[in-house]
Amino acid sequence: MDLETAKERAGPREFSPADDLPEEYRKAATRMIEFHANSEIMGAYLERPFIRQAPSIDRKLAFSAKVQDEIGHGQLLYRAAESLGVKTREEMLDDLANGDGKFLNCFHYPMESWVETPMIAFFVDGAAMRRQATLRRTSWEPYAHAMDKVCFEEGFHVKHGEDILAELMSGSKKEQRMTQEAFEEWWPRIIQFFGPTDDKSTHHDFAASVGLKQQSNDQLRNAFLDQYIPKARKYGLEIPDEPRIRERDDGTYEIAEDDLDWDEFFTIAKNDYEPGLDQINGRKAAQEAVQWVRDTIEGDASAAGGHVPQAAD
């Protein structure tokens, strides 16, 4: 299939591994899905410490389930990317551990306090739901099928984060103040979750032309603002003065995008942001720590002349 034919045929769940797709499509889809898979893994690593730090057994169980879900999402997505025939799962995992794999800006920042957990579990996961719901109509069928499961589970994650936010904002004055401070710190990062503005996006036009993406970064960002600014205010959070938010005559919102630190964003995109390097190095250390398990499994299977099972990461 040539590229023009792929563009003409592009539609929801149109292409599968049985299709002889052009190289340009396969590479673009692999890049997009690998980025998504990496982000699921790195999000889980960011939240993992809060399994222990959670203030109650119920919260510990919920965070444990959430982290397990996110790792599972990553594995589903690596398989969906692998089915394009460009990179193997092992290559993608190695790239992530070595600092070559890209992932979402929000997961480059450290998260140290319990009051920060709803910034990821409610706002970032809520932003993810805006994007992932559109990807159920992506043209690469294995990706769309993975999104069916991911969206179902992410819906629970958002409710989990909202419940934590509601508890904090109905707690002591100190808890409310600390949560507001965390919100002010994370708010610009959350808005940048959707990527660069449309005029600076280098991949959107092609991805949209072959049906991989359904909406632009700015469309997704504005839809998120319309939904989550009222939710933030509902729980007593004050929207920071910067970046400036403008309310249109119809009650929808837009952001003054020049107020955001795009230089920092693009530094993060190159994996050159110093706190993000700590996240990457942590992932590399974890992968190296279980290398002996892979070696043992592969050695046993080789000695037996049998199939080599996939070791979990």
Q: How does residue 55 score in pLDDT terms, banded at 50, 70 and 90? A: very high
Q: Any bridge partners for residue 140, and if so which?
A: 15
Residue 312 has pLDDT above 50, yes or no: no
What does the mean pLDDT of the chain come to?
92
- Confidence at 9, pLDDT banded by 50, 70, 90: very high
Q: What percent of the chain has pLDDT over 70?
A: 96
Lowest mean pLDDT among 57-71, 223-237, 287-301: 287-301
Boundaries of every domain in the chain: 3-304
Could you tell me which of 113, 92, 116, 118 has the C-alpha nearest to residue 39?
92
pLDDT at position 280, please? 80
Say yes or no to pLDDT of 300 above 90.
no
Residues 227 and 126: beta-carbon distance below 8 Å = yes
pLDDT for 308 equals: 52
- Using one digit for the tens of pLDDT, what is the confidence trace for 81-107? 999 999 999 999 999 999 999 999 999
Per-residue pLDDT tens digits for 263-279: 999 999 999 888 777 77
Determine the Cα–Cα distance for residues 98 and 103; give it in Å rounded to an integer. Answer: 13
- For 229-249, how does the pLDDT look when each residue is reduced to its tens digit (9 = 90+)? 999 999 999 999 999 998 888
Task: Report phi then psi at 246, rounded to 5.
Answer: -110, 135
pLDDT of residue 307: 57
pLDDT of 259: 93
The answer to whether 73 and 153 are in contact (CB under 8 A) is yes
What pLDDT, on the 0 to 100 scale, is given for residue 306? 59
Which CATH superfamily includes the segment(s) 3-304? Ferritin, core subunit, four-helix bundle (1.20.1260.10)
CA angle 312, 47, 168 (to 5 degrees): 150
Among 31, 34, 185, residue whose Cα is nearest residue 116: 185
